Structure 1
Amino acid sequence: MRDSVDVVVVGGRVAGASTALLLARAGLSVALVDRGRRGSDTLSTHALMRGGVLQLSRWGVLADVVAAGTPAVQRTVFGYADGEVADVAIRPRSGVDALYAPRRHLLDRLLVDAAEQAGARVLHETAVTSLRRDGSGRVAGVVGRTRSGVRVELAAGLTIGADGIRSRVAEEVGARTTWQGWTSSAVLYRYVEDPLGDGFEWTYGDGAGSGVIPTNDGASCVFVGTTPARMRGLRRLGVEQAFAGLLDAAGPAAAERARGLRPVTPLRGWAGLPGFARESSGPGWALVGDAGYFKDPITSHGITDALRDAELLAGQVLASHAGAVPEHVALGRYQETRDRLSRDVFEVTERVAAYDWDAPGIRSLLRRFSAAMGDEVEHLEQLDRADVAG
């Protein structure tokens, strides 16, 4: 099977599906290639921050997220080791009056469906095995293989890697690491029955953090996080004991809240990986989502990052395609904006994932994080106003 498109996007999760959606809606021919099954699940914190909800609303996808029974999150509760509890209501802004935390098998499928409806060609269960190159060495598409063994070759003017932390596209093009983090969280999580959950609940205790995140089907995701070294030591006693011990360390309120919820899945874990940013583009290629920029999940901002960067990249690709600016200049602007909006969020997340803070220290970090998210929303609002003006 051989074909030619303007853009091929490798990876059909949030970042890749969103990028394909925006480019296809603008009239480009787009192929979206993903090695997984349509609607499969993946590890996630689920939580969408205001910027992410704003984008889903603008793109017409939020209504489907809500229609699928995703609960509206009207408040965020913060608990600290010194006993202080802050209950913060979600205030309306830019048409966003609630936050959401959809399951990934729902959100990813809705974004892929929207991309397909916009005209993108979607190939699931297709693994990219190599990149095509032209005579100058410029990336010119992908070569892959379906699960049934059929060879697929897609020529493309631009190849976008949205294929996660261990990106095949990033590896093939030799994308340099531009930022390197040094801290990481080891996490245990499970889904529990929680029909009354209506808020994000974050707790920061003695070298550990926890969260309760309301999601679909009357369930919440409950997680605990700490340093990988501490997690390895605790898990020697058994995974359930490690989970319970970290809930206690996060704080009595966190432990009591979780004990009242009936598990509906077994415990699962994430061993942790330090964050990083990679150079985001080169001749014929670009990176988006975790392929280009990843940070520890303890601040629950990954999905919002992916949605944001999909829009930043799509806007610059369209400017280049229209001839308004050379490709290398447009893609350079994408990285510059991505890095500017990400730097403070990344640095705060690094500090939080060290788990060496006291109560005043974590409150200060979270205030800084909130300010960085405010800058991000302001930038997205400006994009929205520019679209209306145009």
Structure 2
Amino acid sequence: MTAGYDVVVVGGRVAGAATALHLARRGVRVLVLDRGSAGSDTLSTHALMRAGVLQLHRWGLLDRLVAAGVPPVRSTVFHHVSGDTHISLRPAAGVDALYAPRRTTLDALLVDAAVEAGAEVRHGVRVTGLLRGAGGRVVGVHAEDRAGSAFDVPARITVGADGVRSTVAQQVAAPTDRQGSAAAGVLYTYLADLPAEGYEWFYGHRASAGFIPTEDGLTCAFAATGAPRFRGLPGRGADRFAQLLAEAAPAAAARVAGGQQVEGLRGFGGVPGRLRRAGGPGWALVGDAGYYKDPLSTHGMSDALRDAELLALALTGALDGAVPEAAALAAFQQQRDRLSTSLFEVTEQVAGHTLEEERLRHLLRELSAAMSDEIEALLALDRRPTAVA
């Protein structure tokens, strides 16, 4: 490492790596610190929506994802008790398919692209605290590697991209501007011999499920219910998984039973969504650290890619002196919140698993409309003189 970074990014997964990529492409000296191992897996629904695929296409990275063997998804099926709704993806804005990469693929792809752009990345490093300057301004981080060696990294701006339990957010006591109350508990695994008709979502009584085609001919199968109920379900993980699948759709349960499970079950007990303050003197938050909503939306990675670019644009202006830092961060938060509010509100209602079918269908249509607005906002970035091709 060398001293004197413009930005240190805490967390090197989707949000952090993508933020570093954009900063480095704009000539910013950036260091990424991540506590995990390079190429490691993490809990994730890993389904990209159109906005996420559009971002990779705009950044010149989509071909790498395709070359890695991630299969295209060109349709979505919503399975309701009263009947199914089939939707084919219409090619638009350079996107003719959706993709659901494993995180071992997507995170590594973004890190490699960031390094190629000039960012420095160190894995196996835990951030233990923040450096403070005059008036309490954040001026970098305290860190420790796996050998126990401690060191400091001075930086003009520190970005927390370290997840929903963000150390950076905790250290700066980032205010929560909007707090959700609902959450879903989920179990998921990977199966061979489980063909899926694109993305498939199942909605039953108090339970939902989904099939997400991913790499190596595997399908991610998940089942969920409201978090309070999830915590009280009887039996072990496999019993709970089978029960929730059957409640979501007996047909889904039968298809899973006919597949070959190739990995163990993973679970997440649920955390209510929230929108934290996006930044302050010397610090900013991106990805789940700043804006988290229930993973049932399968929109978290797409949001992270969106906000990474928006934050990088804001920080570049602040670092260049073109815009005061406080104004740049406020503008980023305003745009993030404007694009997030509808998605947040719909997810908040759906995650509780208490809705009747008619209301659920209505909310899913609202979700689709919000995603369309997001696409328009991202395409507008290409008309800005500072946009990255």
For normalisation by structure 2, the TM-score amounts to 0.97
**How far, CA to CA, are the matches of 1:174 and 1:226 in structure 2?**
31
Equivalent residue in structure 1 for 2:321, among 316, 320, 323: 323
In the alignment, does 2:346 pair up with 1:334?
A: no
Q: What's the CA shift string for 1:243-298, capped at 9, x where partnerless?
A: 11111111122222222211001212111111111101000000000110100011
**How far, CA to CA, are the matches of 1:198 and 1:247 in structure 2?**
17
Asked if 2 retains the 8 angstrom alpha-carbon contact of 1:19 and 1:313, the reply is yes
Report the secondary structure of 2:136's partner residue.
Answer: coil
Q: What's the CA shift string for 1:298-321, capped at 9, x where partnerless?
A: 111100010011011011111222
Q: What's the CA shift string for 1:321-374, capped at 9, x where partnerless?
A: 222211110110000000010001000000001111121111101000001111
Structure 1 counterpart of 2:105: 106
**How far, CA to CA, are the matches of 2:349 and 2:251 in structure 1?**
24
Matches within 5 A, 1:18-167: 18-82=18-82, 84-167=83-166
% of aligned pairs identical? 54
Cα distance, 1:25 vs structure 2: 0.7
Report the secondary structure of 1:379's partner residue.
Answer: helix
Cα distance, 1:228 vs structure 2: 2.2
**How far, CA to CA, are the matches of 1:13 and 1:49 in structure 2?**
18
Structure 2 counterpart of 1:258: 256
**How far, CA to CA, are the matches of 1:142 and 1:246 in structure 2?**
43
Q: What's the CA shift string for 1:98-126, capped at 9, x where partnerless?
A: 00000001100110111111111111101
- Residues 389 and 243 of structure 1: CA distance in aligned 2, closer, same or farther (over 3 Å): closer
Report the secondary structure of 1:131's partner residue.
Answer: strand
Structure 2 counterpart of 1:245: 243
**How far, CA to CA, are the matches of 1:368 and 1:355 in structure 2?**
17
Structure 1 counterpart of 2:274: 276
Report the secondary structure of 1:188's partner residue.
Answer: strand
Report the secondary structure of 2:270's partner residue.
Answer: coil
**How far, CA to CA, are the matches of 1:172 and 1:91 in structure 2?**
44
**How far, CA to CA, are the matches of 2:64 and 2:236 in structure 1?**
40
Q: State the AA in 1 paired with 2:21.
A: L
Asked if 2 retains the 8 angstrom alpha-carbon contact of 1:5 and 1:156, the reply is yes
Q: State the AA in 1 paired with 2:289.
A: A
Q: State the AA in 2 paired with 1:266.
A: G
**How far, CA to CA, are the matches of 1:367 and 1:217 in structure 2?**
32
**How far, CA to CA, are the matches of 1:162 and 1:152 in structure 2?**
20
Asked if 1 retains the 8 angstrom alpha-carbon contact of 2:381 and 2:387, the reply is no
Asked if 2 retains the 8 angstrom alpha-carbon contact of 1:2 and 1:154, the reply is no
Deviates more, 1:345-354 or 1:224-233: 224-233
- Residues 6 and 112 of structure 1: CA distance in aligned 2, closer, same or farther (over 3 Å): same
**How far, CA to CA, are the matches of 1:361 and 1:260 in structure 2?**
32
Asked if 2 retains the 8 angstrom alpha-carbon contact of 1:2 and 1:153, the reply is no
Asked if 2 retains the 8 angstrom alpha-carbon contact of 1:81 and 1:358, the reply is no
**How far, CA to CA, are the matches of 1:161 and 1:379 in structure 2?**
24
**How far, CA to CA, are the matches of 1:261 and 1:21 in structure 2?**
39
Q: What's the CA shift string for 1:159-201, capped at 9, x where partnerless?
A: 1000111111111111001110100000011100147445000
**How far, CA to CA, are the matches of 1:85 and 1:164 in structure 2?**
35
Q: State the AA in 2 paired with 1:372.
A: A
Cα distance, 1:233 vs structure 2: 3.1
Structure 1 counterpart of 2:383: 385
**How far, CA to CA, are the matches of 1:258 and 1:188 in structure 2?**
13
**How far, CA to CA, are the matches of 1:369 and 1:311 in structure 2?**
22
Number of aligned pairs? Answer: 388
Matches within 5 A, 1:355-370: 355-370=353-368
Cα distance, 1:97 vs structure 2: 0.2
**What RMSD in Å do the two structures reach over aligned CA positions?**
1.5
**How far, CA to CA, are the matches of 1:198 and 1:248 in structure 2?**
19
In the alignment, does 2:217 pair up with 1:218?
A: yes
**How far, CA to CA, are the matches of 1:32 and 1:388 in structure 2?**
23
